[in-house]
Amino acid sequence: MKEKKYITTPIYYVNDVPHIGHAYTTIIADTLARFRRLQGYDTFFMTGTDEHGQKIEQAALVRNKTPQEYADEISGKFRSLWDEFEISYDHFIRTTDADHKLTVQNAFEKMQKNGDIYKGEYEGFYCVSCETFFTQTQLVDEECCPDCGRKTSIVKEESYFFKLSKYQDALIKWYEENERCIMPKGKKNEVISFVKGGLKDLSITRTSFDWGIKLPASSNDPKHVMYVWLDALLNYLTTLGYTRGDDKMEFWQDTTHIVGKDILRFHAIYWPAFLMSLNLPLPKHVAAHGWWTRDGEKMSKSKGNVVNPHEVASAYGLENFRYFLLREVPFGQDGDFSQKALIERINSELGNGLGNLLSRIIGMSSKYSEYKINSMQTAKFYEAELNEAHEYLKNAIENLENFATNRYLEEIWKVVALANGAVAKYEPWAMIKAGKSEEANTLVALCANLLAKIAVILSPAMPHTCDKIAQALGFEISTEIYNKIILQNELLNFIAKPTQPLFPRIETELMARPSEPEAALKEEPKDGCDESIITIDDFKKIVIKVGTVLECEKVEGSDKLLKFQIDLGEEKPRQILSGIAKFYDLSTLVGRQVCVLANLKERTMMKKYVSQGMILSAEDGSLSLLSTDAKVKNGSIVG
């Protein structure tokens, strides 16, 4: 029977749409899950959404929706993005799922029977945004949340408490006896310091709102709902069928949680204490990564600089985006997103490094041996290079198993440099001129084998790119091949074939830069107010016109973009690019009236197409173009 591995992301809170931080966490977890499958482990990978709590109740009310309607909408956006990104999850959980409610109520009853839950009264400072209580000494400026800076409110209400203090010594023992239970080490030291400072019992129910899971009927206390974090953390058990008695609970024996540093305390203190109370094994690893800034600045709605992962992937390619996120920053530290840095990595490391190596091998095998690559003599002549590459790949595996994704990729690129360096060093073209065709072909075989090893070990991070490399060399990436050419350091023979360049060079930034915020919007709100509110003066700057689609065609090299010519009642039609190809048949668009954001700054897309506005649409899993009830004159203003 295969050894089992369980890998999780946090379940993402549905207070907003996905951003780069969500994508980073999910791509790390996806890479790790793909790697474990490549190694031959029986791997179960889950993600999902956290949908209860006062913040969701309030957000729904503002939007004139029920909490369930609002949660359905935002959860759908997360699932849609992960599907578009081809995230290889096995289960997508929602805390509004019926079986999750049963899990939480069942766990509450077990903890209560174990003597770990008691009823009392809570008075403290509560941050609605963070769903967290704080003491007076923890607050900033006497009343503000130490995590998000927003104003807290004093809450006094009846509550059930979990005896967190009871588990203080057991938690410290777990940290000390399990070197890699919390990673990286610096984060573990922070957690240990916090716990040694003394734990207080945790309020785990609320009575001031209704949007949550009620206590079990056996408690006979219907006014209480579960604390969001008790509810949320138990999702990891629901996924494996904790209350259903599923055999999937076998996966729990080897669990890895990937989380952001902002929720490490919940996963490294509360969660293991809950598990101890339930007499369940603790996670093998809780790995916490850092946050992202943009161009050196903190991201926020008010600054208009939040990185939309869908926009980046659409502009630069999903796998290029995956590579950048995994490569740019040491795991556990904060990272900075900039288009300049992304373009540099695509052109230099991916294009000039990996892409150039494949082109060289295809070109040389075409000229020297009609695409046939025989490795019979390779080990004899290039043993030193093969052994050096083997050490780099061992290091890459070790780094990925320690969640050091940047170092994992660094080690792989040492093999890329080794192969490209061998071509420059031994000059196979000179060998051919000297009549040493066998030596030249043996060098090509060395490079082809190094590239095959690269493709296999890189495939968890860039699956489609590596499949293209494997197809070009005539082999398939599998656990069998991983064991053969990575672990056992064996060589393959190849029959290569021509292929398109992997990484076309990018000359200019493909996304519009964030516009400068108005002076009134430059400060972050501190009172929890909706950051998306604008004034009437802001609205007056927006010019939306109605226009008729004159022409529409697909953009070469993109499966999402359409190029429109739209009559807005001006001297000549506007050219506008829009990523709606998968939602509409071209034949249905010509002659249709649409609403266009007409005073949007021009931008160049796909390096050569100017887009002179934005076609407005509404999306809820499908997509609908916005128009008017009846046909109006082209150029009519919407307002």
The full DSSP string for 598-609 is: TTSPPEEETTTE
- Looking only at the bridges linking them, the beta strands covering 285-289 and 255-260 are parallel
Tell me: pLDDT of 68 over 80: yes
Token representation of residue 94: 């929602």
Check residue 189 and give its pLDDT. Answer: 96
Check residue 527 and give its pLDDT. Answer: 43
Cβ count within 10 A of residue 462: 23
Distances, alpha carbon 29 to alpha carbons 115, 257, 442, 537, in Å: 36, 8, 39, 44
Q: List the single range of 60-64, 301-305, 419-423 with lowest mean pLDDT.
A: 301-305
Distances, alpha carbon 513 to alpha carbons 17, 274, 338, in Å: 20, 45, 10
Q: What is the mean pLDDT of residues 16-36?
A: 97
Token representation of residue 62: 């503002």
Check residue 211 and give its pLDDT. Answer: 95
Which helix (DSSP H) or strand (DSSP E) does residue 111 occupy?
helix 98-113
The full DSSP string for 394-425 is: HHHHHHHHTT-HHHHHHHHHHHHHHHHHHHHH
Check residue 558 and give its pLDDT. Answer: 73
Cβ count within 10 A of residue 338: 16
Residue 357 to residue 313: CA distance in whole angstroms: 24
Check residue 528 and give its pLDDT. Answer: 40
Q: What is the mean pLDDT of residues 140-169?
A: 87
Tell me: pLDDT of 516 over 50: no
Tell me: pLDDT of 412 over 70: yes
Reported as a single tens digit per residue, the pLDDT across 231-251 is 999 999 999 999 888 789 999
With bands split at pLDDT 50, 70 and 90, how would you rate the model's confidence at 518? Answer: very low
The full DSSP string for 65-80 is: --HHHHHHHHHHHHHH
Q: List the single range of 25-29, 276-280, 595-599 with lowest mean pLDDT.
A: 595-599
More confident residue, 536 or 568: 568
Instruction: Single out the residue of 195, 121, 114, 125 nearest to residue 153, CA to CA.
Output: 125
More confident residue, 92 or 622: 92
Q: List the single range of 158-162, 308-312, 602-606 with lowest mean pLDDT.
A: 602-606
**What burial class does residue 116 get, using C-beta atoms within 10 Å of its C-beta: 0-12 exposed, 13-18 middle, 19+ buried?**
buried
Residue 105 to residue 321: CA distance in whole angstroms: 41
More confident residue, 136 or 421: 421
Reported as a single tens digit per residue, the pLDDT across 187-229 is 999 999 999 999 999 999 999 889 999 999 999 999 999 988 9
Tell me: pLDDT of 517 over 60: no
* % of the chain beyond a pLDDT of 70: 95
* % of the chain beyond a pLDDT of 90: 74
Check residue 220 and give its pLDDT. Answer: 95
With bands split at pLDDT 50, 70 and 90, how would you rate the model's confidence at 274? Answer: very high
Q: What angle do CA 550, 595, 540 make, to 5 degrees?
A: 135
Query: Over the range 203-223, which residues count as b (16 or more CB within 10 Å of their CB) and which as e?
Result: bbbbeebebbbbbbeebeeee
Check residue 534 and give its pLDDT. Answer: 62
Tell me: pLDDT of 526 over 50: no
Check residue 321 and give its pLDDT. Answer: 98
Are 198 and 138 within 8 A, CB to CB?
no
More confident residue, 561 or 378: 378
Residue 313 to residue 316: CA distance in whole angstroms: 5
Q: What is the mean pLDDT of residues 625-630?
A: 82
8-state DSSP, 204 = -
Residue 108 to residue 114: CA distance in whole angstroms: 10
Q: What is the CATH number of domain 542-638?
A: 2.40.50.140
144 known member of a binding site: no
Q: Please give the span between the terminal C-alpha atoms of the chain, in angstroms, as a whole number.
A: 65
Reported as a single tens digit per residue, the pLDDT across 338-364 is 999 999 999 999 999 999 999 999 999
Tell me: pLDDT of 606 over 70: no
Residue 449 to residue 381: CA distance in whole angstroms: 14
Q: Spelled out in words, what is the top-level CATH class assigned to the domain 4-116+162-289?
A: alpha beta
Tell me: pLDDT of 521 over 90: no
Q: Which fold has domain 313-495?
A: Isoleucyl-tRNA Synthetase; Domain 1 (1.10.730)
Distances, alpha carbon 344 to alpha carbons 299, 320, 324, 450, 506, in Å: 22, 11, 10, 24, 9
Q: List the single range of 391-400, 402-411, 528-537 with lowest mean pLDDT.
A: 528-537
Cβ count within 10 A of residue 322: 24
More confident residue, 141 or 34: 34
| Sign of the four-CA dihedral 451, 456, 462, 465 | positive
Q: List the single range of 27-31, 369-373, 558-562, 577-581 with lowest mean pLDDT.
A: 558-562
Are 547 and 568 within 8 A, CB to CB?
yes
Name the residue ranges covered by the structural domains of the chain.
4-116+162-289, 313-495, 542-638
Check residue 519 and give its pLDDT. Answer: 34
With bands split at pLDDT 50, 70 and 90, how would you rate the model's confidence at 82? Answer: very high
Tell me: pLDDT of 530 over 60: no
Q: What is the mean pLDDT of residues 517-530?
A: 38
Cβ count within 10 A of residue 389: 24
Are 416 and 357 within 8 A, CB to CB?
yes
Tell me: pLDDT of 403 over 90: yes
**Helices 405-426 and 383-401: crossing angle, nearest 10°?**
170
Tell me: pLDDT of 541 over 50: yes
552 known member of a binding site: no
Residue 546 to residue 634: CA distance in whole angstroms: 6
Q: List the single range of 55-59, 426-430, 488-492 with lowest mean pLDDT.
A: 55-59
Check residue 302 and give its pLDDT. Answer: 76
With bands split at pLDDT 50, 70 and 90, how would you rate the model's confidence at 622? Answer: low
Check residue 529 and give its pLDDT. Answer: 38
Which single residue is written with the structure tokens 């019979």?
376
